[in-house]
Structure 1
Amino acid sequence: MSFHIGPEDMEEIALGGAFLGTGGGGDPYIGRLMAQSMMRKNGTDVEVVDPADVPDDALCVPVCMMGAPTVMVEKLPNGDEALSALGALEDYLGQKADYLICIEAGGLNSTIPFAVAAHTGLPLIDGDGMGRAFPELQMVSLTLHDIAATPMVIADDKGNNGVLNAISNLWTERMARSVTVEMGGAALVALYPMSGAQMKAGLLRGTLSLVRDVGRLIKAERTANRHPGNALISRCGGVDLCTARVVDIERRTVGGFARGKARLRGLDADQGREFVLSFQNEFLCLEDADGTPLALTPDLICALDADGGLPVTTESLRFGLGLRLIGLPADKQWRSPEGLELAGPGYFGYPHTFQPLETLAGSPAREPALT
């Protein structure tokens, strides 16, 4: 079933994407403003369609930001880069796109496609390639279904763009990352051009519906002067990881990524405990002070402001900030041997063998509430 998203709905999309984006995907506020501006300029809402309703021979194209979220805070997109990337890819393929896709449920990358859709009039598909956000281009369910990332177009704010073709999705990541660094650390890309049939096989379905519902829930709970944490655990089927304050943070932008770790000191029921939260664009590993893992990629580590209940991204971490961390189980594809090889803790160099969130937490994750 399709639905429409208008300018007034983009706050909810940004909130939901920022929460499910596990700290990554870029600043949702920037993408929200871009989408709202484009919708109002063109006087149009964006249609979001069910994957089952897409013809098998349709051309479906994801558009997204690539680079370090810390760079995007200061190096704002001018709004034309994503359109330039999409247009150049269409020229290369000799075919116009029929549908657009959000590559991940991340702050900026869950909102920029709405801006492109509003400008082009193309519908968005209700799904994504991650069910969360990951730092590298090959870390998508599409890779698990042998869908190629290239041909891919990468564009910057100066008007440069280029077409990449690669022998594998990993090589696409390596080459595109190098170009992104030369483009100033952030760029907009159009990639993984696929048929409707490939999309139906490889896409994680219902993501944009979930993003919208999560955003609505956060907004409603805050309006009612309640912290949204408990309601989100119930809605998404998760576990409470900890409530703690940032007492030290190490962060650096290296090779097109924002890498680092935050040291946390427990609050409320977690007083007397200490934690280490490690990230590479996204929150990927939460450990107790003695190194015992509490949550590991590919499961989701979602951060909320402990006081206000707004989602917290990696680039907004700061000394003294109180966090409530919530864990959500990843899609079952990510827990498969192939998924863990692609985005498990070993890939990022963490010294842990993946264990499901519910095992590490010592209690089962709740069943998601029905909508």
Structure 2
Amino acid sequence: MSWHITADSIPGLALGAAVLGTGGGGDPYVGALLARQAIGDGSVEVVPLASLPDDAVVVNAAMMGAPTVMVEKLPNVDEVVAAIEALAAQLDRRPTHIACAEVGGVNSTIPVAAAAMLGLPLLDGDGMGRAFPELQMVLPTLYGITASPLGIADDKGNTAVLSTVDNLWTERIARVAAVEMGCSVMISGFAMSGAQARESLVAGSLSLCVELGDAIERARSANVDPVAAVVDRLGGRELFAGKVVDVARATTTGFARGSARITGDAGALTLSFQNEHLVATLNDEVLVTTPDLIVVLEHDSGAPITTEGLRYGQRVRVVAAPADERWHSEGGIALAGPAYFGYDCPPTRFDGSIQEVAA
């Protein structure tokens, strides 16, 4: 059954999306402002994947670049529309539905703005079930769906369309373009049919964002633990609680890269990130790695903290939760496992067991 996103429902959606963003995906507050501006007094229809006709034309809309840049370089709705229009001109057909490339942070609300501006329905689904730092790291890649042609637009009015041999090359070339265009751009790609979208996307992700946001707000109102509410809804577990004592972070090659050290009664937890948290290590023991979710929440309020928002002295709790099971396939681990990011450790699932599929 379809439902509608209004300006009033954006804050809850953005809050839940920041949880699933695993520290990345961009500032949810900025994305919420963009979506509310686009919606105004109207609404965006959200339709389930199961209702998509086979001949639908689905395209995604997203921000590409380093989340840290968005603090000073705010996106606008014109960039979002320009990227989609550039793609549509190359396809020579109009999109019928907008999809989220990822469900984390700003990239769960930018598609809301795109759908509102273009008067199109938005899919209740996304390409990851979380956030990842690189363009090719979506489940449609595992199904042979190509990212290109890819529309790109920046805040200066520049647009481009890439046509590449595979999704990794799309990432490489688009990343260089994004750096030259100010380290953040709007993109639109992964054009697919309704049948392809039903098979390859993660169903129900936007609904899950709203449910997570509502769960946190209800827990706060009832004076119960919001972190426990997140853990329960995601089927995860709390890994660690403590104080942030060190953050090393730099924006390089279009990514926010670094690590954070958190100390507590159980010792010291180190989080390694590239836009998103990718590896959690406690006292030199790897607890969990990508592709499972690693989420940092403020200790009492349960507010998700992005990698660019981590600061010395924050009291936090770190939660792990399972990714879509397809990420634990051989292809999924090769695409987004720890070895791809250069970490010398085996894929470790959130329950502490070693992933059997070799990267």
Query: Per the alignment, in what secondary structure is the counterpart of residue 90 of structure 1?
Result: helix
Match of 1:179 among 146, 170, 177: 177
Could you tell me which residue of structure 1 aligns to residue 343 of structure 2? Answer: 350
- After TM superposition, the runs of 4+ consecutive aligned structure 1 residues lying more than 3 A away are none
* Aligned-pair CA distance for 1:360: 4.5
1:145 to 143, 146, 149: 143
Q: Which residue of 2 aligns with 1:252?
A: 250
Residues 318-360 of structure 1: CA deviation (Å, up to 9, x unaligned): 1111111110011110011110000001101111111221135
Pick aligned residue for 1:65 from 59, 63, 66:
63
1:23-68 CA-to-partner distances (Å, cap 9, x unmatched) read 110000011011111111xx32111101111111111000000000
Q: Which residue of 1 aligns with 2:230?
A: 232
| Cα pair 1:137 1:173 within 8 Å, conserved | yes
1:133 is matched with 131
Aligned pairs, how many?
A: 354
Deviation at 1:227, TM superposition (A): 3.0
Aligned-partner residue type, residue 312 of structure 1: I
Deviation for aligned residue 1:197? 1.3
Residue 6 of structure 2 is aligned to residue 6 of structure 1: yes
Q: Return the offset for 1:107.
A: 0.8
Counterparts of residues 197-236 of structure 1 (less than 5 Å):
197-236=195-234
Q: Which residue of 2 aligns with 1:288?
A: 282
Q: Does 1:299 align with 2:297?
A: no
Task: Indicate conservation of the 8 Å contact 1:38/1:119, yes or no.
Answer: yes
2:326 aligned counterpart, secondary structure: coil
Question: Following TM superposition, by how much is the alpha carbon of 1:198 offset from its aligned partner in structure 2, in angstroms?
Answer: 1.1
8 Å contact 2:86–2:152 — kept in the other structure? no
Distance 2:64 2:86 in 1: 17
Match of 2:187 in 1: 189
* Offset, 1:79: 2.2
Counterpart amino acid of 1:167?
V
SS of structure 2 residue aligned to 1:5: strand
- Give the letter aligned to residue 8 of structure 1: D
Secondary structure at the counterpart of residue 80 of structure 1: helix
- Matched with 1:334 is 327
Deviation at 1:168, TM superposition (A): 0.6
Matches within 5 A, 1:86-165: 86-165=84-163
- Give the alignment partner of residue 265 of structure 1, picking from 263, 266, 269: 263
Give, in whole Å, the separation in 1 of the partners of 2:176 and 2:185. Answer: 11
Q: Secondary structure of 1:83's partner?
A: helix
- Name the CA distance, whole Å, in 2 between partners of 1:155 and 1:261: 31
Instruction: Please report how far the alpha carbon of residue 308 of structure 1 lies from its aligned counterpart in structure 2 after TM superposition.
Output: 2.1
User: Could you tell me the TM-score, scaled by structure 2's length?
Assistant: 0.97
Alpha-carbon distance in structure 1 between the residues aligned to 2:54 and 2:196: 8
Q: Which residue identity lines up with residue 338 of structure 1 in the other structure?
A: G
Normalization by structure 1: what TM-score? 0.94
Q: What is the aligned-residue identity percentage?
A: 51
Residue in 2 that maps onto 1:317: 310
Deviation at 1:275, TM superposition (A): 1.1
Q: CA RMSD in A?
A: 1.1
1:286 touches 1:296 (CA, 8 Å); kept in 2?
yes
Distance 2:86 2:344 in 1: 42
The corresponding residue for 2:268 is 274
Contact 1:129 1:203 in 2 (8 A): yes
Q: Deviations over 1:274-324 (max 9, x none)?
A: 1111100001100012x2101100000011111322111111001111111
> How far off its partner does 1:220 sit?
1.3
Q: Aligned partners of 1:117 and 1:282: how far apart in 2? A: 26
CA distance, structure 2, for counterparts of residue 262 and residue 90 of structure 1? 41
**C-alpha separation between the residues in 2 aligned to 1:114 and 1:272?**
41
1:272 positional shift:
4.9
Partner of 1:366: none
- Local SS of the residue matching 1:324: strand
Distance 1:219 1:110 in 2: 19
Q: Check whether the contact 1:293–1:360 (CA below 8 A) recurs between aligned residues.
A: no
Alignment check: 8 A CA contact 1:303 1:324 kept: yes
Equivalent position amino acid for 2:228 in 1: N
Unaligned ranges ≥5, structure 2: 355-359
The DSSP-based 3-state class of the residue aligned with 2:259 is: strand
The residue type paired with residue 87 of structure 2 is L
Q: Which amino acid aligns with 1:132?
A: R
User: Does residue 36 of structure 2 align to residue 36 of structure 1?
Assistant: yes
2:25 maps to what in 1? 25
Q: Tell me how far apart the structure 1 counterparts of residues 218 and 229 of structure 2 sit (CA, whole Å).
A: 10
Which residue of structure 2 aligns with residue 364 of structure 1?
none
